[in-house]
Structure 1
Amino acid sequence: MSVRRLAKEQPATFAFSKETVKKAEWWIAKYPADRRQSAVIPILWLVQKQEGWVSEPAIRAIADLLGMAYIRVLEVATFYTMFMLEPVGSAALIQVCGTTPCMLRGSNDLMKVCKDRIGPKQTLSADGRFYWEEVECLGACVNAPMAMINDYYFEDLTAADLNQIIDDFAAGKTPERGPRVDRINSAPEGGALTLTDPKLYDGSAAKPIKKLPNTEPVSA
């Protein structure tokens, strides 16, 4: 794993929104009073949902809220790669899986689209609307190649698919998430190939259970 550091340019201040405070209090209430620090991960996530990334002032605010040393919150934020430590695109954060199954199925083509349209790896576009990075396995190998864009998976992608998705986000649209081929979730492309007989599911193929003969209990 590469070293993860905070962005060089940081905002001067950070403030929790009312909605974030409400949700943070809900998380804190899940733990005993002397264990409120256990809420650090969900609150970091709430801050990221509010701002798009986790800044140094936000880390300090979270530490003050939970009664933690600043370094302890920094350790958590820099350990988990789900926390973005620099500003991301206002329209889309594109995380392309580059692990073996996706690589074999064409993830390099997807990364080329990102490089051509956004910039080098881990780059914010010039207009500030798009950010992309290569990530490790996202657990959707059956649907390779794929990318997580903002909060959702976009699967079975081609370079043309990704180009269209970027166009849609740029136009303020919400592209349909999920597979880009004829399948439901991770089901076989084109539909099921085995166990297709309806009788297997409507009960008509079930054999009646034979009644066992009455037997007297065996006495000791």
Structure 2
Amino acid sequence: MNKNLFASFICPNIMGLSTLPIIIMLPCLMFTAPKRWLPNRIQILQIWLIRLITKQMMSMHSKLGRTWSLMLISLILFIASTNLLGLLPYSFTPTTQLSMNLGMAIPLWMGTVILGLRKKPKASLAHFLPQGTPTPLIPMLIIIETISLFIQPIALAVRLTANITAGHLLMHLIGSATLALASINIMISSITFTILLLLTILELAVAIIQAYVFTLLVSLYLHDNS
């Protein structure tokens, strides 16, 4: 039994060594390389999902933006598989760590900003000052737009961390309540267990949706700068 609610978010160690690198590599085992002639059903489903996501996400991009398609598809598959693996018993979810999410968000955001400054510097700098702004408001608007630009990667990381952490905490609370009520009232315990099952189904959807939202926002930043 965990000592506190947040003990499940501490990365496990084996002989004093962090197991986080091994856990991060686990999603790679879920996606097998398709055979040349006869892929199985799981591989066909993976190919169909990848093509569907690529079509929906890359349709709004220019030729330059579509060069990021492999990176964005890899990102959404990694986040989704990591979130889903974290729902297994006695597992650890790396996306509950703000440091890891910032490590994904900041380089991707910085890459889109640098791309925009290189390819279309005038349009990128024009976002800091909308056309027709009164002269007295120019310094204030530039400061506000600069702050909003630098907040984007933080908002990306915090959104993913908060949603995944909140779901895991709620599941932990309801699971603890179910075990505590099992010896007191079977009827109430069965009700809380049903709620836990429904919440688990919801968390399966949240794990995939949050991966899609994270990647979609990166794609929108890329669209604005490419």
* TM-score of the two chains, using structure 2 as the length reference: 0.28
Name the one with the larger helix percent.
2
Over alpha carbons, which structure has the higher Rg? 1
**Higher relative contact order structure (alpha carbons within 8 Å, sequence separation ≥ 6):** 2
